[in-house]
């Protein structure tokens, strides 16, 4: 059963209407969100998620979200959760109603982890590369595109996933029009060669991932080399393994890219999962 809490800590029925139809989050996708993984009642990477919410708010010129408000709503969700051992905890923060006083609409919503995600964590995924339609300099040249903000405008990301399905794959790795690797529609790309982990830099127009950061922290502690640097598309199939990381999917192995089966990275996946889990 989903659990919904407002920023003042009161609970609301998730099956009943809450948002006004003229909320700009609904009308224009004008707002931001985060999804936090909670395991056995403990939220993971809470600080980095909140810092990213603040960063997204600044990019959209939204009022700075209050940590106390989101902590209160989060606690109310955790206190009232009766579902499984893991929760996908969403924080949503919109520009509020059109023509209103500018007060944002905010809430926290606890959801079960989808079965499909659990299956993919174990079995890995097939992915296709799709052109995101901008070059590697677009984020710096055109900040109004909000590349790298976690906005509610995810229609493009969802359309890309449907395109992947049409091509017989489950996931997408976005690329720039000049051949650099970006990220998945809801995940960070990590490429592994030997004992080196690589991920593209946020400046290229992607979201800095909290899961990737946690994995890199753990890996560095155990003597791996970690690099945040541009990755070109051909390097994906040359790597020992490529992975899509996000709070909810954790570290998911990509076994097939653009219809071609990649080197078996099952053992590497086990090692990365052990590293990631060692953080908690």
Cα separation, 6 vs 13, whole angstroms: 11
- Residues in contact with ligand PLP, counted by CB under 6 A, come to a total of 13
For residue 183, the minimal CB distance to ligand PLP (Å) is 5
Tokens encoding 270: 């086990």
171 binding ligand PLP? (CB under 6 A):
no
Site mask for ligand PLP (CB under 6 A), range 7-36, x = bound: ----------------------------x-
- Facing residues of 174 across strands? 130
The answer to whether the CB of 245 falls within 8 A of the CB of 209 is: yes
What crossing angle do the helices spanning 46-59 and 67-80 adopt, rounded to 10°? Answer: 130
152 binding ligand PLP? (CB under 6 A):
no
Residue from 186, 199, 252, 265 touching ligand PLP (CB under 6 A): that is: 186
**Contact stretch for ligand PLP (CB under 6 A) within 114-122, 127-135, 164-172, 241-249:** 241-249
**Contact stretch for ligand PLP (CB under 6 A) within 69-77, 132-140, 180-188, 263-271:** 180-188
Q: Is the Cα torsion angle 267, 272, 275, 280 positive or negative in sign?
A: negative
Considering beta carbons, is residue 97 or 129 the nearer one to ligand PLP? Answer: 129
For residue 184, the minimal CB distance to ligand PLP (Å) is 6
Tokens encoding 150: 């976690």
Binding to ligand PLP (CB under 6 A): which residues in 35-54?
Answer: 35
Residues with Cβ within 8 Å of residue 172, at least 6 apart in sequence: 127, 128, 129, 130, 160, 161, 163, 164, 184, 185
187 binding ligand PLP? (CB under 6 A):
yes
- Helices (H) then strands (E): counts for the chain: 9, 14
Cα separation, 181 vs 31, whole angstroms: 26
Binding to ligand PLP (CB under 6 A): which residues in 193-212?
Answer: 207, 209-212
Residues that bind ligand PLP (CB under 6 A): 35, 183, 186-188, 207, 209-212, 245-247
């Amino acid at each position: 059963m989903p659990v919904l809490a407002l920023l003042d800590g009161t609970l609301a029925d998730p099956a009943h209407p809450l948002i006004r139809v003229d909320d700009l989050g609904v009308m224009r996708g004008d707002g931001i969100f985060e999804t936090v993984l909670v395991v056995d009642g403990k939220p993971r990477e809470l600080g980095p998620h909140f810092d990213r919410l603040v960063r997204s708010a600044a990019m959209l010129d939204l009022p700075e979200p209050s940590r106390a408000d989101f902590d209160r709503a989060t606690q109310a969700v955790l206190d009232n959760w009766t579902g499984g051992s893991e929760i996908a905890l969403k924080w949503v923060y919109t520009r509020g109603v059109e023509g209103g006083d500018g007060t944002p609409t905010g809430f926290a919503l606890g959801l079960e982890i989808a079965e499909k995600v659990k299956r993919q964590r174990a079995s890995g995924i097939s992915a296709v590369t799709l052109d995101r339609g901008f070059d590697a300099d677009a984020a710096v040249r055109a900040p109004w595109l909000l590349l790298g903000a976690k906005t509610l405008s995810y229609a493009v990301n969802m359309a890309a996933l449907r395109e992947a399905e049409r091509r017989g794959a489950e996931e997408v790795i976005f690329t720039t029009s000049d051949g650099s690797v970006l990220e998945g529609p809801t995940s960070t790309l990590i490429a592994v060669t030997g004992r080196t982990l690589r991920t593209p830099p946020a400046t290229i127009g992607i979201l800095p991932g909290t899961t990737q950061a946690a994995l890199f922290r753990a890996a560095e502690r155990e003597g791996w080399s970690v690099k945040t640097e541009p990755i070109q598309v051909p390097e994906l199939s040359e790597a020992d393994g490529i992975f899509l990381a996000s709070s909810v999917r954790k570290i998911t192995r990509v076994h097939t890219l653009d219809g071609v089966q990649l080197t078996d990275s099952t053992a590497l996946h086990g090692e990365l999962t052990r590293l990631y889990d060692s953080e908690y």
